[in-house]
Amino acid sequence: MIRRAVGIAIAALALMGTPLAAQDESAETDAIVVSAQRSGAPMWIVDGPRGTLVLVGEITAIPKSTPWYPDRLEEATREAERVILGTRSRVSPGDVLRLIFGGSRITRLPDRTVAADYLDAGQMARLTALEQLYDEDYSRRSLLMTSFDLFTRRLRFNRDTGPDASDVVRRAASRARVPAEPVGTVRGEDVLDNLAEADPRSHIPCLEAAMTAAEAGRDIVEQRADAWRAFDVPAVMANPLELALGKCWPWADSDLGGELRGQWTEALASASEAEGVTLAVVPLRVLAEEDGVLDQLQSRGLDISGPDWR
């Protein structure tokens, strides 16, 4: 009777055609994926030739009122083979001094110019209306700094927020000693030079989008987060706040934005061929924009499962 039972077990394994070790590895991968998906963050699973790539689509400044479960993302992180996080900026003491003594080149318009020297009549009328609404003078302020003021002080999109996905994964990886690497690095000196040397006119699309977001009102902050939690990626991408953030520095900068996107594309293409499970927290716009990471991975014929991004 015992011999017959052993024989049946061996025959069943032979029919399945999968070694026990492979079964264990597959089960472990499935457990990581399920834990990550249960967090409530939108994500995509990319099955590569030797492993699995879990892409968590991140938006910054998620309101505390948004119901998602960071502890489940922590659980998935602890079981992953490796983690990829956002770009790290290398800032030196010299960079700090340059910002202190040369900061006006970033925060103010050059020479004695004012906003009206760069904006057309329609744009200036919109800005004047917002100045009156908020009792603020934007005339000499950098167009980029004006845009950021509309985001942070007027829409208050970064107030009363919970942890971002990258913060959750970074802490969990550190505690569990899971290898974690930034997708790339940029030098603080290059960032400051990029900002200081930019033509004020290059920030006009950012300002226009920021004004549109401010005119839409604070409800768009919650709407963006709700769409993110509902995995409605096209709605997130079409939200006035997300559109504005994508049209502003650094993402809209042809040099720095291109470098950041290139780092993600290269790192994730490599990770899709790695063994085991790689968990990456990626800006949603980098994943879901036209010809973004998901489009490029799909064009390579990789199997991608997750919410529609178009």
Each residue's pLDDT expressed in tens, for the chain with a length of 310 residues: 444 443 433 333 333 343 444 445 566 677 777 888 889 999 999 998 889 999 999 999 999 999 999 999 999 999 999 999 998 876 555 545 455 545 677 899 999 999 999 999 999 999 999 999 999 999 999 999 999 999 999 999 999 999 999 999 999 999 999 999 999 988 877 787 888 889 999 999 999 999 999 999 999 999 999 999 999 999 999 999 999 999 999 999 988 899 999 999 999 999 999 999 999 999 999 999 999 999 999 999 999 999 999 8
Please give the pLDDT value at position 9: 38
CB 193 within 8 A of CB 255: no
Please give the pLDDT value at position 10: 34
Q: Is the peptide bond before 250 cis (omega within 30 degrees of 0)?
A: yes
CA distance 215 to 244: 12
Rg from Cα positions in the chain: 23
Instruction: Please choose, from the candidates 286, 287, 293, the residue with its C-alpha nearest in 3D space to the C-alpha of residue 269.
Output: 293
Please give the pLDDT value at position 173: 97
Phi, psi dihedral angles at 187 (to 5 degrees): -80, 140
Please give the pLDDT value at position 21: 42
Please give the pLDDT value at position 27: 61
Please give the pLDDT value at position 30: 74
CB 169 within 8 A of CB 73: yes
Please give the pLDDT value at position 16: 38
Rounded to two decimals, what is the model's pTM? 0.85
- Locate tokens 């039972």: which residue? 5
CA distance 227 to 218: 15
User: 3-15 burial, b for 16+ CB within 10 Å, e for fewer?
Assistant: eeeeeeeeeeeee
Beta carbons within 8 Å of 82's beta carbon, 6+ residues apart: 178, 179, 180, 181, 271, 274, 276, 278, 279
